[in-house]
Amino acid sequence: MVRKLEGSRPKNFIFNFSMGGLHDEEIDVNKDKYADVVPFMLFKDLPHTKGEDGYSVIFADKELAELKRRVAEHFKLDPKSIISYDEMIKLPVGTDMKWNVLVWKGHGDDAATREDVRGTYLLFH
C-alpha cells in the first residue's frame, strides 16, 4: 500500500518501515528507511550506567565499540555505518542515506526524520 503512495507523498514526508512484521521481505534494507529492534542478547552483558535523569542510558566508549561490532555482525552491516544517536546529533544532516543509528533510552526520534539515516536500531525499548 505504501509503495503505491510513493510518487504522491509530500516532499517533507519520510516513510519509515518497521521490521518484525508480516511483510519484512518487502522492505529493501539497501534502499528503504527502516527501524529494527536489537535483540537483548546482543547487549545484555555490556555494562552501562544511567544518566543524571535516572532514565537515559550511557555506554562507555569501549562498550559502545563492542555494541557496534555486535550489531554490525548480527545485522550484516558495514561497521563504519553504525553510529550512536549522540554521534548522529553532532553530524550535519546529509542527503546520502548512509547511517545506521543505535537508539536507546533517553534518545529522541531525530533518526526517523533524517534523510541520511537508513536504519534505526532500537535498544531498551
Quick one: pLDDT band at residue 2, thresholds 50, 70, 90?
A: low
**Helix, strand, coil % (nearest 5) of the chain?**
35, 20, 50
The verdict on residue 19 lying in a domain is no
SS3 99: strand
Name 108's bridge partners.
none
Quick one: pLDDT band at residue 17, thresholds 50, 70, 90?
A: confident
C-alpha span between 76 and 3 (Å, rounded): 25
Full residue range of the structural domain in which residue 44 is found:
33-122
Q: Above pLDDT 70, what percent of the chain? A: 93
The verdict on residue 20 lying in a domain is no
The verdict on residue 7 lying in a domain is no
Within 41-124, where are the H helices?
A: 61-75, 85-90, 110-113
Indicate the DSSP class of residue 109. Answer: S
The verdict on residue 92 lying in a domain is yes
C-alpha span between 113 and 99 (Å, rounded): 13
Q: Are strands 99-103 and 117-122 parallel, antiparallel or unpaired?
A: parallel
The verdict on residue 68 lying in a domain is yes
Total domains present in the chain: 1
C-alpha span between 41 and 56 (Å, rounded): 20
Tell me: pLDDT of 34 over 60: yes
Question: Tens digits of per-residue pLDDT, 85-124?
Answer: 999 999 999 888 899 999 998 899 999 999 999 999 999 7
The verdict on residue 42 lying in a domain is yes
The verdict on residue 21 lying in a domain is no
The verdict on residue 10 lying in a domain is no
- Using CA atoms, how far residue 9 sits from 6, 104, 117, in Å, is 6, 29, 19
